[in-house]
């Protein structure tokens, strides 16, 4: 079966191909170039790419707030911390290092070829897995979503113009290819899967299930992001700062239009605070309006989704209280129902009062990724311990729910992308 | 005012002539539901809509038809409910339910007879239903939407025959019995997809049995399943007319929905659906939900003062259509005409958060 090459040898192209083996072989050769680079040189290069984006007005206009998130991640100091945290000593990526007094030496070798299935819902997130493959000196064969891939290619192509003392952007791009594959083309999907030393997949349940079901090599590592649900909790003490919280949470709801795993769908507010939960819902509505006007304007909503939103809104115009924009850009639904709301996506947030923040612990399991929290110090660590013990992966502050960090989904992806190999100092016997 | 409307011929008024009488009837109905259905009152209040005020039709808030799957909405006491009509199949798996009292049922019969009379005339037909006899039976007061339409057609029948078995396959004996007993013109009726299945799955030799019969074919129930298998209306009409041996223009699609009580929209011979005096149609932009001008496609909003026992007076679905004229169809029917075009596609982008249901 044929597939489409859309990024190859550092350039955006549009070419049908049936030579997957050829691509795989070339990418494996590309790992040779990466292996000869030091981790600090790769970090410097990524940092320089971010610097080039900072000065690009067109990029700022096209990617808006999302670019800031990426640039923050690509900052040299941030990358050093991320790699050191996941790998323990980042120079273990360059050669054998000692971790302790024992004569054993450790080295993090790349696994080889990562095959990455990037979802259409949040394509820009694919950059994070690509960077992590690069930092661990693995090559990347990326199966993009045929619905949304332009932004991803534009970001990738910009690497060509960036060169540091040791790294040439063009050479780096020799280790990455982006292809489109018809989702019914199980032969090509299976081939992709069998070529992978690391399989990385983002997406909804249907997409993830189909990828997990593909045959793979027994030693291939899987890094599965999603599908997961996220929500948020505010305790009564934190409501002292309600204006700031509403402002920050409005950003959490608006970024990615709630299509990311880290996007909140339900907000629980503990009763008895400075303002009533319903009042907070109204305040959140004002901030969603502001964010839509000034920070993250919402694009056109699909007709099917417009109807989904109308259905939910109408139900709660009867059963609860609805605050919404006239043209469906955002919707706040307040009701005193218990439990997590079915997600509607597209900036529809359900606000529900609770008597005690600990009542949400029972909603926490392995299908929940992020709980955005505004919880006072006296209960904070105990609350976080309880929900994470049950399966939740992250508890960032409100406003930071969608900030990509490592670990993600409960794992250090960098660590999974390497093989830990060992040897011993001479005369260690 | 509703009674006055019911007394009129269905396609006797131009848009301008209908405007004031229809709005008054809508207002009477809206006030009734506002006063007698608490959830509906809450909905109107949340929409800041006061039915006692002055408003154009476009300001009347609309309920998505799916709300009748989610909530039991009634405007009369429980004891007055005589029948529950439910849709036969839905994408979500939940059927829509509307609850009828005697007033609603009477109005339904009058409007349906009046509309269908305009299309198939007053002369009675022998009806051959492409359905099973079990379908039409009420089960504890419950009726499916298929049964509702079939029952509404019975007043136009001299004799009625049901030629499918309970699995919706041809019952050859029933067909032969029907063909032995029919005398004059025949009207076939079935749900769109059931007719398609019948034509597609039945042995071609059966078609010969329909030779020499003067017939029309009515069908309703929607195009979703046929859209999924990429069968368009023209192709459907060709296949059905070939099999049942009639002209393609005698295959008439009827648009309607369970929630829009008593109002059906058959195609006229020019392929348009006409809006009778008992209802109105507004097309709304698929992004902003604002009304659009004639000729532009959008969601179809249906308004009608006919429902008495439930507040389905202004509803909207994910059907897409467009108004083709305010008046002046060559078929002679006065008033607005529209086309049904498709159903809105389900939202394509799927989020990660859709994981609440199913095993962990």
Write the secondary structure of A282-310 as one string of H (helix), E (strand) and C (coil): HHHHHHHHHHHHHHCCCCCCCHHHHHHHH
Q: Which of B63, B346, B351 sits opposite A345 (nearest CB)?
A: B351
A204 contacts B351? CB cut-off 8 A: yes
Q: Do B334 and B12 contact (CB within 8 A), yes or no?
A: yes
Least confident of A88-92, A94-98, A277-281, B147-151: B147-151
pLDDT beyond 60 at B359: no
pLDDT tens readout for residues A175-195: 999 999 998 899 999 999 999
Residue B151 is predicted with a pLDDT of 81
Mean pLDDT of chain A: 94
pLDDT beyond 80 at B228: no
pLDDT beyond 90 at A351: yes
Contacts of B238 (CB under 8 A, 6+ apart): B248
**CATH architecture of the domain covering B2-343:** 3-Layer(aba) Sandwich (3.40)
Chain A contact for B117, CB < 8 A?
no
Residue B343 is predicted with a pLDDT of 81
A366 contacts B360? CB cut-off 8 A: yes
Chain A contact for B48, CB < 8 A?
no
Both tokens of residue B277?
A: 């005096």
> How far apart are the CA of A366 and the nearest CA of chain B, in angstroms?
7
pLDDT beyond 60 at A247: yes
Chain A contact for B330, CB < 8 A?
no
A317 contacts B47? CB cut-off 8 A: yes
B46 contacts A306? CB cut-off 8 A: no
Cα separation of B238 and B248, whole Å?
6
Q: Which fold has domain A229-389?
A: Aldehyde Dehydrogenase; Chain A, domain 2 (3.40.309)
Which of A330-334, B105-109, B224-228: highest mean pLDDT? Answer: A330-334
A228 contacts B64? CB cut-off 8 A: no
> How far apart are the CA of A399 and the nearest CA of chain B, in angstroms?
18
A257, closest residue in chain B (CA to CA): B351
Q: Where in chain A is the domain with CATH 3.40.605.10?
A: 3-226+409-424
pLDDT tens readout for residues B240-253: 999 999 988 889 99
A369, closest residue in chain B (CA to CA): B353
Cα separation of A88 and A82, whole Å?
9
pLDDT tens readout for residues B71-123: 999 999 999 999 888 775 555 567 788 899 999 999 998 998 899 888 888 77
- Residue A259: name the closest of A299, A294, A219 by CA: A299
Least confident of A338-347, B81-90, B172-181: B81-90
Mean pLDDT of chain B: 88
Q: Which of B350, B353, B358 sits opposite A265 (nearest CB)?
A: B353
pLDDT beyond 90 at B34: yes
pLDDT tens readout for residues A149-174: 888 999 999 999 999 999 999 999 99
pLDDT tens readout for residues A203-220: 888 888 889 999 999 999
A305, closest residue in chain B (CA to CA): B347
Contacts of B193 (CB under 8 A, 6+ apart): B221, B222, B225, B226
* Residues of chain B contacting residue A314, judged by C-beta atoms under 8 Å apart: 43, 63-64, 67
Q: Do B277 and B292 contact (CB within 8 A), yes or no?
A: no
Residue B97 is predicted with a pLDDT of 86
Residue B225 is predicted with a pLDDT of 76
Average of per-residue pLDDT across A86-101: 96
Half-sphere exposure of B159 (CA within 13 A, CB side): 13
Query: Alpha carbon of A327 to those of A138, B289, B290: distances in Å?
Result: 45, 7, 9
* Residues of chain A contacting residue B66, judged by C-beta atoms under 8 Å apart: 311
A310 contacts B316? CB cut-off 8 A: yes
Cα separation of A371 and A354, whole Å?
15
Residue B95 is predicted with a pLDDT of 78
Q: Where in chain A is the domain with CATH 3.40.309.10?
A: 229-389
B65, closest residue in chain A (CA to CA): A311
Number of neighbours of residue B158 by Cβ within 10 angstroms: 13
> How far apart are the CA of A105 and the nearest CA of chain B, in angstroms?
40
A323, closest residue in chain B (CA to CA): B46
B346 contacts A304? CB cut-off 8 A: yes
* Residues of chain A contacting residue B314, judged by C-beta atoms under 8 Å apart: none
Which CATH code for domain A3-226+409-424? 3.40.605.10
pLDDT beyond 90 at B154: no
* Residues of chain B contacting residue A147, judged by C-beta atoms under 8 Å apart: 348-349
Q: Which of B47, B347, B356 sits opposite A308 (nearest CB)?
A: B347
The residues with which B143 forms a beta bridge, in sequence order, are B85
B348 contacts A261? CB cut-off 8 A: no
Cα separation of A301 and A327, whole Å?
10
pLDDT beyond 90 at A258: yes
Name the H helices within B171-274.
Answer: 172-181, 192-201, 224-228, 233-244
Sheet bearing B83-86, strands edge to edge: B97-100, B83-86, B142-144
Chain A contact for B341, CB < 8 A?
no
Cα separation of A277 and A284, whole Å?
10
Residue predicted with more confidence, B153 or A420: A420
pLDDT beyond 90 at A20: yes
> How far apart are the CA of B300 and the nearest CA of chain A, in angstroms?
12
Q: How confident is the model at residue A411 (pLDDT cuts 50, 70, 90)?
A: very high
Pairing of strands A11-17, A3-8: antiparallel
Chain A contact for B92, CB < 8 A?
no
Interface pTM, i.e. ipTM: 0.86
Number of neighbours of residue A240 by Cβ within 10 angstroms: 14
A226 contacts B352? CB cut-off 8 A: yes
Average of per-residue pLDDT across A291-304: 91
Q: Do B317 and B65 contact (CB within 8 A), yes or no?
A: yes
B347 contacts A365? CB cut-off 8 A: no
pLDDT beyond 90 at A64: no
Residue B141 is predicted with a pLDDT of 66
pLDDT beyond 80 at B165: yes
DSSP code per residue over B101-113: -HHHHHHHHHHHH
Helix (H, G, I), strand (E, B) or coil at B335: coil
Residue predicted with more confidence, A426 or B48: B48
pLDDT tens readout for residues B50-77: 999 999 999 999 999 999 989 999 999 9
pLDDT beyond 80 at A228: yes
A321 contacts B355? CB cut-off 8 A: no
Which of A197-206, A304-313, B136-145, B224-233: highest mean pLDDT? Answer: A304-313
DSSP code at position A340? P
* B-interface mutation test, from A310, A316, A339, most B Cβ less than 10 A away: A310
């Amino acid at each position: 079966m044929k597939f489409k090459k859309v990024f190859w040898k550092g350039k955006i192209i549009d070419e049908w191909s049936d030579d997957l083996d050829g691509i795989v072989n070339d990418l494996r050769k590309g790992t040779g170039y990466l292996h000869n680079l030091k981790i600090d040189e790769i970090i410097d290069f990524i940092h320089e790419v971010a610097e080039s984006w900072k000065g690009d007005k067109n990029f700022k206009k096209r990617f808006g707030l999302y670019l800031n998130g990426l640039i923050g991640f690509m900052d040299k100091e941030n990358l050093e911390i991320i790699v050191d945290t996941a790998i323990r000593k980042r120079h273990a990526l360059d050669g054998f290092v000692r971790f302790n007094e024992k004569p054993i030496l450790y080295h993090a070798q790349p696994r080889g070829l990562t095959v990455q299935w990037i979802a259409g819902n949040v394509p820009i997130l694919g950059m994070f897995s690509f960077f992590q493959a690069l930092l661990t000196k693995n090559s990347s064969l990326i199966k993009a979503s045929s619905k949304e891939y332009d932004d991803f290619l534009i970001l990738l192509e910009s690497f060509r113009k960036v060169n540091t003392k040791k790294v040439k952007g063009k050479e780096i791009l020799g280790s990455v290819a982006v292809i489109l594959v018809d989702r019914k083309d199980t032969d090509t999907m299976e081939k992709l899967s069998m070529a992978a030393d690391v399989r990385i997949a983002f997406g909804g349940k249907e997409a993830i299930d189909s990828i997990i079901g593909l045959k793979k090599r027994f030693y291939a590592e899987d890094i599965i992001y999603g599908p997961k649900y996220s929500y948020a909790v505010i305790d009564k003490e934190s409501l002292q700062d309600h204006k700031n919280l509403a402002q920050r949470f409005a950003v959490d709801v608006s970024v990615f239009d709630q299509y990311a795993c880290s996007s909140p769908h339900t907000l629980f507010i503990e009763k008895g605070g400075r303002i009533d939960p319903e009042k907070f819902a109204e305040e959140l509505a004002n901030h969603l309006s502001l964010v839509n006007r000034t920070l993250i304007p919402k694009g056109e909503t699909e007709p099917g989704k417009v109807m989904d939103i109308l259905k939910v809104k109408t139900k709660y115009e009867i059963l609860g209280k609805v605050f919404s924009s006239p043209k469906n850009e955002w919707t706040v639904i307040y009701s005193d129902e218990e439990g997590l709301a079915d997600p509607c996506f597209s900036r529809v947030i359900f606000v529900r009062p609770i008597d005690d923040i600990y009542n949400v612990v029972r909603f926490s399991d392995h299908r929940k990724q992020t709980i955005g929290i505004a919880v006072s110090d006296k209960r904070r660590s105990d609350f976080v311990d309880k929900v994470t013990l049950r399966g939740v992966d992250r508890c960032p502050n409100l406003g930071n729910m969608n900030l990509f960090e490592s670990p993600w989904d409960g794992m250090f992806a960098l660590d999974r992308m390497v093989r830990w190999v060992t040897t011993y100092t001479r005369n260690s016997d | 005012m509703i009674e006055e409307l019911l007394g009129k011929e269905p396609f006797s008024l131009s848009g301008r002539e209908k405007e004031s009488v229809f709005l008054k009837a809508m207002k009477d109905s809206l006030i009734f539901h506002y006063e007698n259905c608490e959830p509906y009152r809450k909905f109107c209040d949340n929409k800041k809509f006061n039915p006692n005020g002055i408003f154009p039709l476009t300001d009347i808030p609309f309920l998505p038809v799916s709300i009748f799957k989610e909530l039991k909405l009634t405007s009369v006491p429980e004891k007055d409910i005589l029948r529950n009509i439910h849709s036969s199949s839905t994408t979500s798996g939940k059927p829509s339910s509307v609850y009828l009292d005697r007033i609603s049922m009477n109005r339904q019969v009058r409007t349906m007879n009046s509309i269908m009379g305009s299309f198939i005339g007053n002369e009675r037909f022998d009806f051959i239903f492409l359905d099973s006899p079990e379908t039409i039976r009420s089960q504890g007061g419950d009726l499916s939407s298929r049964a509702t339409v079939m029952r509404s057609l019975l007043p136009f029948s001299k004799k009625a025959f049901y030629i499918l078995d309970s699995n919706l396959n041809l019952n050859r004996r029933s067909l032969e019995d029907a063909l032995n007993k029919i005398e004059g013109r025949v009207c076939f009726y079935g749900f769109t997809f059931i007719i398609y299945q019948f034509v597609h799955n039945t042995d071609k030799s059966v078609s010969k049995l329909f030779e020499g019969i003067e017939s029309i074919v009515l069908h309703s129930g929607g195009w979703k399943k046929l859209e999924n298998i990429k069968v368009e209306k023209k192709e459907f009409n060709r296949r059905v007319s070939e099999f049942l041996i009639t002209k393609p223009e005698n295959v008439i699609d009827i648009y309607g929905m369970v929630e829009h009580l008593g109002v059906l929209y058959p195609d006229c011979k020019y392929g348009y659906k006409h809006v009778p005096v008992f209802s109105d149609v507004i097309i709304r932009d698929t992004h902003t939900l604002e009304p659009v001008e004639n000729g532009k496609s959008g969601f179809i909003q249906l308004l009608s003062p006919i429902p008495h026992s439930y507040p389905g007076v202004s509803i909207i679905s994910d059907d897409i259509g467009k108004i083709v004229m305010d008046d002046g169809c060559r078929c002679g029917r006065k008033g607005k005409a529209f086309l049904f075009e498709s159903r809105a596609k389900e939202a394509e982008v799927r989020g990660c958060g859709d994981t609440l249901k199913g095993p962990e």
